[in-house]
Amino acid sequence: MEEEEEAEEQQRFSYQQRLKAAVHYTVGCLCEEVASDKEIQFSKQTIAAISEMTFRQCENFAKDLEMFARHAKRSTVNTEDVKLLARRSNSLLKYITEKNEEIAQLNLERKAKKKKKSEDRNKNSRESAEDGEVDNEN
Amino acid sequence: MEGAGFRKELVGKLLRLHFQDSGTRVSGDALQLMAELLKIFVTEAAVRGARQAQAEDVALVGVDQLEKVLPQLLLDF
C-alpha cells in the first residue's frame, strides 16, 4: 500500500516539475520582451523567482476559481469567475473585462465564419440537387 | 495577442493540478482569459522590477529589486 502511494507521489512530483519547466520557459520569454523594451537585463535568479511565484499563484487562483464556480452552483469555471479573481485592482479588473469582450468578439466572428462556410456548402449541394430534380421532372 | 504568452493547454493543466474536485472543469473562454491574467502577472512583476532597478540606477534586475516590488504585486492580485 505504501509503495503505491510513494509511486503516486513520485509521479505527481515529476508531473509538477514538467509544468514548472513549461511555466519557466514562458516567463523567460515574457521577461525577454520587457528586457528589450526597457533596455535592461534580468538575472537568472529573478526569472526563476518570478517563475516560482507564478506557479504558486496558480494554486491560489485554481482554488479560488473552483470555489467561485461552486458558489454559483456550477461545475465548470467560466469567465465570470475569472473576472472575480481580478477584483483587487481596479485597473486590472478593467483590463481583464476588456480582454474578455475581445475574446468573446473574436469567438463570435470565428463562429460566424464557420456558419457561413457550412451554409455555402449546403447551398451548393442544394442547388446541384435541385438541378437534378428539374431534369427528372422533364 | 502578439508576443509570448501562456498556452491554453498549459493553463488548463496548471489549474486542474490544484482543483479539489475532479469534476471541476474550465470553459475555453475562461482558459483564454486566465492565460491573459497570468501574462499580466508575469509582465507586471518584470516591469515593476525593471522600474525599481532603474530607480536604483542598476543595470540588472536582481532578486533584491524584485523583493521590493513583490508585496504590492501580490496585494494587487
Task: Decide if A63 contacts B18 (C-beta within 8 A).
Answer: yes
The interface pTM score, or ipTM, of the predicted complex is 0.94
Q: Pick from A15, A58, A96: which is nearest to B36 by CB?
A: A96
pLDDT in tens, A68-85: 999 999 999 999 999 999
pLDDT in tens, A8-33: 999 999 999 999 999 999 999 999 99
Provide CB contacts within 8 A for B13, sequence distance 6+: A19
Q: In chain B, what are the helix, strand and coil shares in percent, each to the nearest 5?
A: 65, 5, 30
- Per-residue pLDDT, A62: 97
Determine the residue of chain B that is closest to A45 in CA distance: B63
What's the gap in Å between the CA of A105 and the closest CA on chain B? 11
Radius of gyration (C-alpha) of chain B in whole angstroms: 16
pLDDT at A133 over 60: no
pTM, whole model, 2 decimals? 0.86
Which residues from B are below 8 Å from A45, CB to CB?
62-63
pLDDT at A132 over 70: no
Give the separation between CA B6 and CA B35, rounded to whole angstroms. 5
How many CB atoms lie under 10 A from the CB of residue A133?
9
